[in-house]
Structure 1
Amino acid sequence: MSAALTSAASGKAVQARAEEVIRREAPALVAYFERRTPPSDAPDLLGETLLVAWRRAASLPADDQAARMWLFGVARRVLSTYHRGNIRRHALAERLRMEREAAPAASPHDSELSLALAELAPIDSEIIRLLHWDGFTLLEIAQHLGRPAGTIRSRYSRARTALRARLEEGTPSSGSDRFSEVAPLTSGESNDAEGTAGLRHSGSVSSGT
């Protein structure tokens, strides 16, 4: 028998052995995870365990008891990774919650701004949010939305004018103050300038409408 045929036969034997052990131990592995995690997470953890087992099938011991312990060793490592991920997620959620609680109270005009933004075209309100809240430049917004840079710049100019007009309706004397108060234009203006400069020098996203 040639080396290639021998290798193929050996590979099939390894796969058959792995399938046999996995089929036998899968119910016990599911129960193992269900006793240590929310039951809804157990199938996903089993899937990760079996994926590792298939990839490392050649390392599966020939003895049934040793193979069982090997599989549970894989499951233990998968479970450890799962718990570490949960700890990191909970820590991040707690940090974000604390930062949120420590943030200044919302402006009394926030609801008014939301209403004004809702009256704009969806893409225009998104441009406003990305520029003034998320810190994007106009060039970055064009890349993010997959639109020509010139289109983003012109839409932003029109959207800003329309938003200011909506906020000034009914209270002309304080409208400009409300606009700068609810949309942090002190930071946004620098983004606007930077984005505009980027638009002038961008060759990759400046064509089209």
Structure 2
Amino acid sequence: MARTITSDEFEALYRAVAPELFGYIRRRGSADAEDLVAEVFTTAWRRRSELPAGLLRRAWLFGTARRLLLAAGRRAQHDQEAVVHLATHPTEQATEDEAAEQVVVAALGRLSPDDRELIQLVEWDRLTPAEIAVALGIRPGTARVRLHRARQALASDPQMQALVRRSSASRPALA
């Protein structure tokens, strides 16, 4: 039976292996390496009584990182497939609102991840550009410029333009 490692041993393990895990995850193209490394060590802390001894701990951590990367890749692939499916297969019984929502979701899916996050932070989470700057660790002016560019990218999407044209054509004219 394995011995539970102490918090000092765990800290030493983190200091020794975390930089290598960051490199491993970043080399595989993951933008959220910090989150994944944190999740690896959270899992290790929860299962610290099950960790293998000595040098095998490092391998165990890399195995955990690999499984988390694969799971993140599957989630991203599933999300992308859902966006593509919604964009190319709207349901026949969809109401106008549902169809419009599908167009917006598909248009968001075609934005870069950074632009999509900015739009979502403003429109879904109701953050101001100043709050976005703090959340993303950038200057307020930079946040405003990036948000402006993200909005332009969304507005230039052909399906979004068609949606806006249909929407404005169906509104009654002001007297």
Q: Give the letter for the 1:61 counterpart.
A: P
How big is the shift at 1:56?
0.8
Match of 2:80 among 90, 99, 124: 90
Alignment match, 2:45: 54
Farther off after superposition, 15-24 or 84-93: 15-24
* AA in 1 matched with 2:10: A
Distance in structure 2 (CA, Å) of the matches to 1:25 and 1:107: 52
Query: Which of 2, 7, 14 is 1:22 aligned to?
Result: 14
Please give the residue correspondences for 1:125-204 in structure 2 after superposition, counting only pairs within 5 Å. 167=172, 169-170=174-175
- 3-state SS of 2:28 partner: coil
Letter in structure 2 aligned against 1:30: F
Amino acid at match of 2:51: L
> How far apart are residue 59 of structure 1 and its match?
1.5
Identity of aligned residues (%): 32
Equivalent of residue 31 in structure 1, options 11, 17, 23 = 23
Cα deviation digits, residues 114-161 of structure 1 (max 9, x gap): 6xxxxxxxxxxxxxxxxxxxxxxxxxxxxxxxxxxxxxxxxxxxxxxx
**What secondary structure does 1:59 align onto?**
coil
**Letter in structure 2 aligned against 1:16:** D
Secondary structure in 1 aligned to 2:6? helix
Scaled by the length of structure 2, what TM-score is found? 0.51
**Pick aligned residue for 1:76 from 66, 72, 90:** 66
- Give, in angstroms, the shift of residue 61 of structure 1: 2.1
Instruction: Evaluate the alpha carbon distance shift between residue 62 and residue 112 of structure 1 in structure 2; reply closer, same or farther with a 3 A threshold.
Output: same
- Residue in 1 aligned with 2:153? none
Mapped to 2, the partners of 1:31 and 1:108 lie a distance apart of 48
Which blocks of at least 5 consecutive residues in structure 2 are unaligned? 93-98, 101-161
TM-score normalised by length of structure 1: 0.43
Q: Is the 8 A contact 1:18 1:60 kept in 2?
A: no
Structure-2 change in CA distance of 1:169 and 1:50 (3 Å): same
CA drift at 1:37: 2.0
1:49, distance to aligned residue in structure 2 (A):
0.9
Q: For residues 174 and 52 of structure 2, what CA distance do their matches in structure 1 show?
A: 77
Aligned partner of residue 57 in structure 1, secondary structure = coil
Trace 1:85-124 onto structure 2 (pairs within 5 A): 85-99=75-89, 110-112=167-169
Q: 1: distance between equivalents of 2:166 and 2:32? A: 43
Q: Distance in 2 between matches of 1:111 and 1:91?
A: 30
3-state SS, counterpart of residue 68 of structure 1? helix
Contact 1:22 1:50 survives alignment (8 Å): yes
